[in-house]
Amino acid sequence: MENTTPLRKQYLDIKKNYPEAIVFFRLGDFYETFEEDASIAARELEIVLTSREMGKGLKVPLAGIPYHALDNYL
């Protein structure tokens, strides 16, 4: 994991403690989720699944929603 971003490390630490939860991070104007959480969120919330680089050469699935629209999705 030395080749990963601090955000990814934080995400993996949280998922280790809460493996059944869908973890969203507030990043600027968006709530974003990653990896399998992103795939589930994209499917269930009918939002776009994309990817983000989270380490050198490491792209992970990403899905996000604008923070001001949170109540429309959850």
pLDDT tens-digit map of 9-68: 999 999 999 999 999 999 999 999 999 999 999 999 999 999 988 888 889 999 999 999
Instruction: Read off the tokens for 33.
Output: 């989720």
In the chain, what are the domain boundaries? 6-69
| Band (73; pLDDT cuts 50, 70, 90) | confident
Query: From its phi and psi, is residue 63 left (phi > 0), alpha (psi between -120 and 50) or beta?
Result: beta
How far is it, in rounded angstroms, from Cα 2 to Cα 72?
Answer: 37
Query: Which CATH superfamily, name and number, covers 6-69?
Result: DNA repair protein MutS, domain I (3.40.1170.10)
